[in-house]
Amino acid sequence: MQRLLSRWHAPGWVTIVAAGVVSAALMGVRLFVPQPVAMANNGDAQRLMCQIHADAARPPASSAQWYFVRFHYAILSHHTRCIDYPTTQYLQLRLTSWVHRHLLGLSGAIDTRELMVEYCVLVGVVIAVMAWLLRPVRLPLRIGLLAALFVVLADATFADYAGSPYSETTALYGLLVVAVAGVITVAHGQNRGRVIAFLVASVAAVFAVGAKNETVTLLVPLAALLGTRRVPIGRLRGRVGVRVLPALCVVALLATAGWSMAQESREDQEINTAQEVTMTLMPMVTDPGQLAVDFGLPRSFGQYSGTNWWSPNPIEDDPSFSHYRTRFSRSNLVRYFAEHPTMSARVFSGGADAYLTFRANYLGNYAADSGQPPQHQECRVCVVQGVAHAFKWSGFPGILVYWLACLAGAAWLIRTGSPNSRRRGFGLVTLTLLGSTVVQYATAVYGEGNEVTKHLAVAVFTAALAPVWIAAGALTPRSPSEPAAHPRLPRLGKLRQRTTTSQPDPQPTAL
């Protein structure tokens, strides 16, 4: 026991704990001082908050949606029916609501400032774990890496989700936990810590995939990272045994994705598909009517180019809409893109502006009683989005160069790191972050005609984390067993020549 306490009080552990506590406190200051900040409701809050009986349908006039943030939610009438909206964020909201009502004894269903406190705690834990992973790095460089990670997590694009009624929050949290736990999973060989880290990463991955329908595509990079690990536990060893836990993780991810897609309402599919047609595809062509025909719709539907589902004269109010309703499906959208590769490429590259915009600029960040004007946005920490805006001129070529640079960095870390090294762990996680960026970018630009910038939040988050992980891997010293490079083996002739010309070892003399 005394030995354990001496290890706990060692300077290294003190530094690690201090890093976490300071980071959590700084995030609290960033979110609450001088007024708390979050993101206003864009009209989607009710589908999420209704599940914990929180009334977000008709906010007071002083807290009009879009303009002001609403932190406190009253309890809904028991007769209110909630729409089907599958999300793993329900668990966090339900637990926080229970604490709010039964432990704290407060009125209403929930106060989202409690969710903001939880984010501060999460940031503190992640920074502390990262400080532990970076122990081999020199102190000044370690502080710089932790500061860079904090700047990403504190950026207004991501931090303002903490107290907001959006399910993207769970995807952001899940990916952040996977990013740190994934490194431990790769880097810690056969010990118990690796098993715990793998289980934590698996649960976080399930939460990220099940956050909302749009995050289901995260299944691909997350399953690629966790499903390829070898995790021995108990009697599960050997070539087959070490694959059991990773296989169960992949099954859980597939089940979560299936549950999320099966629960998606037909109306949501219609809305998303219709807005992809009218807000993304039609404005790209000179003849929207012909595009409507190519999509299997009447030429007259071209008149809805540039409109959304909630416009004064939307496509859904067209007398012919009910006859062509089955055309507004995800399968028909996939068919169109497959048959029109040129348009597919244009849509993919056309998402660059929304991607580099980085942050939805129409949602206020302050409460109605804050003294701030309606729809006012905070910029207490805007470093990452500021960098993105500075490179907005580069368009999609700039994005592609950035992705390729991250890919090269990840490949270099993987190549120069031994199988169970932190360097390789940072490299593999970087590859996962980059994969998450690409699949979420494609999901948003091909499936979300409206609010594309907001739907790219997960993509830009993982893109912002990637260079921090590359730098962490690059600055982590190699272990003695890791070669500086991969030298070529000497040719056989030279090896034989060295063997024949070398002097024999001197024989030991008798004492």
> Residue 447: pLDDT above 70?
yes
Q: For residue 488, tell me if it sits in a domain.
A: no
Going by C-alpha positions, the residue among 233, 314, 308 that lies closest to residue 276 is 308
Kindly indicate the confidence band of residue 345, based on its pLDDT and cuts at 50, 70 and 90: very high
Q: What is the pLDDT of residue 448?
A: 80
What does the pLDDT read at residue 235?
66
Asked if residue 3 has pLDDT above 90, the reply is no
Q: Are residues 434 and 289 in the same domain?
A: no
Give the mean model confidence (pLDDT) for residues 8-24: 80
Taking alpha carbons only, the member of 399, 509, 422 closest to residue 142 is 422
pLDDT tens-digit map of 383-406: 999 999 999 999 999 999 999 999
Q: Would residue 321 count as lying in a domain?
A: yes
Please give the mean pLDDT across all residues of the chain: 86
Same structural domain, 295 and 426: no
Q: Is the pLDDT of residue 182 over 60?
A: yes
Q: Is the pLDDT of residue 42 over 50?
A: yes
3-state secondary structure (DSSP) of residue 233: strand
Residues 6+ apart with CB under 8 A from 429: 178, 179, 182, 183, 186, 225, 469
Q: What share of the chain is helix, strand, coil (3-state, %, to 5)?
A: 65, 0, 35
Q: pLDDT tens digits for 116-147?
A: 999 999 999 999 999 999 999 999 999 999 99
Query: Would residue 493 count as lying in a domain?
Result: no
| Residue 113 sits in the same domain as residue 250 | yes
32 and 122 housed in the same domain: yes
User: CB neighbours of 341 closer than 8 A, spacing ≥ 6?
Assistant: none
Interval 490-508 mean pLDDT: 42
Give per-residue pLDDT as tens, 52-91.
Answer: 988 887 555 444 678 899 999 998 877 677 888 899 999 9
Under 8 Å CB-to-CB from 296, ≥6 apart: which residues?
Answer: 324, 327, 332
Out of 370-379, 459-468, 481-490, the most confident range is: 459-468
CA distance 46 to 294: 36
Domains contained in the chain, number: 2
Query: Is residue 355 one of the residues assigned to a domain?
Result: no
Bridge partners, residue 367, by sequence: 69
139 and 56 together in one domain? yes
Distance CA 509, CA 507 (A): 6
Which of 248, 35, 73, 252 lies closest to 160, judged by CA? Answer: 35
Burial classification of residue 62, based on how many CB atoms lie within 10 Å of its CB (0-12 exposed, 13-18 middle, 19 or more buried): exposed
Between the alpha carbon of residue 215 and those of residues 164, 407, 420, 436, 441, the distances in Å are: 18, 22, 30, 9, 11
Query: According to the model, what pLDDT value does residue 188 have?
Result: 67
Return the pLDDT at 25.
Answer: 97
Give me the domain span that covers residue 306.
266-340
Predicted pLDDT at 152? 98
Report how far residue 462's alpha carbon sits from residue 478's, in angstroms, rounded to the nearest whole number.
Answer: 26
pLDDT, tens digit (0-9, with 9 covering 90-100), for 306-342: 888 777 888 888 888 888 888 888 888 999 999 999 9
In a domain, 25, yes or no: yes
Judgement on whether residues 430 and 418 belong to the same structural domain of the protein = yes
Identify whether residues 298 and 201 lie together within a single domain: no
- Token reading at 394: 């580069």
Same domain, 209 and 280: no
- Provide the residue type at 121 as one letter: V
